Amino acid sequence: MVFVTMGTTCFDALVKAVDTWEVKQELSDRGYTDLVIQMGCESYTPTKSGGEDGSLAVDFFTFSSSIADYLRSASLLISHTGRYAPECDGSYQERYVGS
């Protein structure tokens, strides 16, 4: 499962990016079957899909009392860490999907 999380921030650009056919196809080509998006206060609503036709299954939600289970279940995490997150001090190495 691919888990995308914004926390409580608004980041429409990231939600729109992972909702594109190209990103979904790349994830599917890499063997992922499920995409779950945790959104903050975005105004953009991604397209849900059950994956019945063999495509990537897509679901989203705006609030959960805990995302720990999603984090444990994810094979790939895509996150907006925020400007002041400790991970942004340069010691965190980022990985990108695609070219």
Q: Which two tokens stand for residue 59?
A: 């679901």
Q: Which two tokens stand for residue 77?
A: 């995490």
Map residue 47 onto helix, strand or coil.
coil
- The pLDDT tens digits for 7-64 are 777 788 899 999 999 999 999 999 999 999 998 887 889 999 998 888 899 999 988 8
Q: Residue 34, CB half-sphere, CA atoms under 13 Å: how many?
A: 9
Q: Mean pLDDT over residues 55-82, rounded?
A: 88
Model confidence, pTM: 0.78
